Amino acid sequence: MIIGSLFWDDGTDGGRQHWRDNRLDVSRAVTVRVPIDYGRKSSSRSNTFTMVLRADGQAGTGLLVPCRHGVLTIEDLVVEASALWKAEAPKAKTGALGSDWGSVGILFREGVADGRLAQSWQDHFRKAGRTSLSVVREDGSLDIPWPTGEGGATADFDLILATATLPEEIAPTPEAVAKAMLGQTGGHENYFLNNVLHGIRTASDNEIFTVVERQSPNWISADRYQDAVALLRRTTT
């Protein structure tokens, strides 16, 4: 499950693009409802806010992207989980599953996934020294509802991997998210706008954009953002 730049950012030395090309079948990505918001201040993005999962948050739209390779054993699962974390954190050691600011977590579909695989994952997660963080429980499971697709149907996957990052202690308001975007000069408004362009949306996107458009920053008319801006204008009028 992808709720941010893992879907569109090339990453350091093209690492994320390499991960998507080799581990994911991006052509089969589907949109799902999942509780997300702009809740983590990112120092690497000039203190703009990036996406977080919240157990009790408002539903937004994320993406479920199938793996290219089948996951039948704990070895298969660990390969995919560690590759996901490496894409999220390029400087992480090979095989790592998280850090003090984020972690990989998993949802197993009830009645479908092999119970032995779930237990093996819990054992591996604890052995790796991981503890609970944000919506990732101490057993490596995700404390969020199972994502739903169009019409409320449950997403047809046996297990779902995602990275969860540690949010701010106090959830920022849409105005705070917008002001953080307006207050930086490093081009990091692209995080919000690229998410919109690729269908990754929060319940607060329109409020965020209303504040941004009121301030009319120079970049709002940039050619590279016109498709995303047009999408936002259609939904805020």
Q: Show Cβ contacts of residue 173 under 8 Å, excluding neighbours closer than 6 positions.
A: none
Comparing CA positions, the residue from 51, 2, 88, 7 lying closest to residue 205 is 51
Does the pTM of the predicted model rise above 0.75? yes
* Res. 237: pLDDT tops 90: no
pLDDT of residue 112: 65
pLDDT in tens, 125-161: 999 999 899 999 999 999 999 999 878 888 889 999 9
pLDDT of residue 199: 97
pLDDT in tens, 200-227: 999 999 999 999 999 999 999 999 999 9
| pLDDT band for position 101 (cuts 50, 70, 90) | very high
* Res. 171: pLDDT tops 80: yes
* Residues 177 and 204 sit within 8 Å (Cβ to Cβ): yes
What would the two tokens of residue 207 be?
A: 């409020």
pLDDT of residue 113: 62
pLDDT of residue 111: 74
Least confident range from 77-86, 153-162, 192-201: namely 153-162
DSSP bridge pairs for 59? 35
pLDDT of residue 35: 97
Task: Please state the rounded mean pLDDT for residues 87-105.
Answer: 96
Return phi, psi of residue 226, to 5°.
-60, -40
pLDDT in tens, 105-119: 999 998 766 789 999
pLDDT of residue 13: 84
pLDDT of residue 110: 81
Annotate the chain with three-state secondary structure. Answer: CECCHHHCCCCHHHHHHHHHHHHECHHHCEEEEEEEEEEEEEHHHCCEEEEEECCCCCEEEEEECCECCCCCCHHHHHHHHHHHHHHHCCCCCCCCCECCCEEEEEEECCCCCCHHHHHHHHHHHHHCCCCCECCECCCCEECCCCCECHHHCECCCCEEEEEEECCCCCCCCHHHHHHHHHCCCCCCCHHHHHHHHCCCECCCHHHHHHHHHHHCCHHHHCHHHHHHHHHHHHHHC
CA separation for the pair 98, 103 (Å, rounded)? 4
Comparing CA positions, the residue from 96, 78, 4 lying closest to residue 44 is 4
pLDDT of residue 156: 87
pLDDT in tens, 5-59: 999 999 878 899 999 999 999 999 999 999 999 999 999 999 999 999 999 999 9
Task: Please state the rounded mean pLDDT for residues 74-93.
Answer: 96
**How many other β-carbons are positioned within 10 Å of the β-carbon of residue 55?**
13
CA separation for the pair 137, 162 (Å, rounded)? 13
* Res. 90: pLDDT tops 70: yes
Strands 102-108 and 30-42: unpaired
